[in-house]
Structure 1
């Protein structure tokens, strides 16, 4: 076996482990990941699974990174081509709502679930979750400021407050979809976005 083929196979195996791990962690939490379970489900040895990551914490961090890649593809990429400011903010909100409605992750928003699981547990995993929320809030604030500067939102719009409200709105949607299975949740979320952003 050539070194190139061996490396490609290792990357493929690592990717398969991460895909299964994201699905499990979405529904059962990052602590629900066990090396034994992954080995059994993927027909691998425990040492084979562990060899790709080294520790359970390293696996959890890699799973967060994979989930972030999915979130960016689902929510950020659709908005990248939209004009900065209010148009992009609207596309971001619609993509965010659609991502939750379609249950891209089996357990709803991966990062909302991870935040509930780790918010009171200091360490690298909590820090990684918090950093992703901070980056997302910063992106929302940036677009809100651009919208206000362009006159598309009322003068004096508080970008920090708007980002906070939009984040809370989507967390409420996640709750309505996952806990209550409310078929009207997406419609209500869109109404709330229109009430806040106009249009």
Structure 2
């Protein structure tokens, strides 16, 4: 086999390992992502899996990085074409709900399981996870500020608070789907998002005074 073909085959094998590892992590968590399990699932030797990553920690980091790529493709990219501000916020939330309800990963969003798993821990996996969440939070906060400037959300809206509540809705949605199999979960999440992103009420006719 030529060096070029060897490199291409190695790249394909690495991709298979990451994809399968991410699927397993969504079900069993990052700590459940073992070299032995991956090797058995993919028909590889343990040394063959380790040869691509070196350590279990490196494999976990690669899975998290791939999860971010998938999340952006599933949630951010479909909403990117919407006008900035409230329209994009609505599109983001709709895509986020769709991502969770369609079962993109067999065990739900890997970020949700990783969040609980890494709570109270330290190390590079937690550092990467926090960096990924902060980057996403900054993106959504920017859209909230744009919506406030446009007058589509109340002027006193706290972007960090609103993003906190939207994130809570999505965590609850993932929980309702994965633990309870609740068929109404997406509808409840959509109603919660609609309430949180309700635009400012328009003044009533006649200067806002009630008719006598």
- Equivalent residue runs for 1:70-81 within 5 Å: 70-81=70-81
Alpha-carbon distance between aligned partners in 2 of 1:193 and 1:34, rounded to the nearest angstrom: 37
Alpha-carbon distance between aligned partners in 2 of 1:192 and 1:24, rounded to the nearest angstrom: 30
Alpha-carbon distance between aligned partners in 2 of 1:67 and 1:32, rounded to the nearest angstrom: 16
- The offset of 1:198, in angstroms, is 2.1
Alpha-carbon distance between aligned partners in 2 of 1:188 and 1:195, rounded to the nearest angstrom: 11
CA deviation map 1:5-48 (0-9, x unaligned): 11111100000011110111100011111111111111111111
Structure 2 SS opposite 1:19: helix
Structure number, greater radius of gyration: 2
Q: TM-score, normalised by structure 2?
A: 0.91
- Equivalent residue runs for 1:124-139 within 5 Å: 124-139=124-139
Structure 2 SS opposite 1:103: coil
RMSD (Å), alpha carbons: 1.0
Alpha-carbon distance between aligned partners in 2 of 1:125 and 1:101, rounded to the nearest angstrom: 26
Alpha-carbon distance between aligned partners in 2 of 1:164 and 1:41, rounded to the nearest angstrom: 38
Q: TM-score, normalised by structure 1?
A: 0.97
CA deviation map 1:151-198 (0-9, x unaligned): 111112111111111011111111111111110010011111111112
Asked if residue 13 in structure 1 is aligned to residue 38 in structure 2, the reply is: no
CA deviation map 1:123-149 (0-9, x unaligned): 000111111111111111110000000
- Equivalent residue runs for 1:185-196 within 5 Å: 185-196=185-196
Aligned residues: 199
Alpha-carbon distance between aligned partners in 1 of 2:157 and 2:41, rounded to the nearest angstrom: 51
| 1:170 aligned partner | 170
- Equivalent residue runs for 1:3-82 within 5 Å: 3-82=3-82
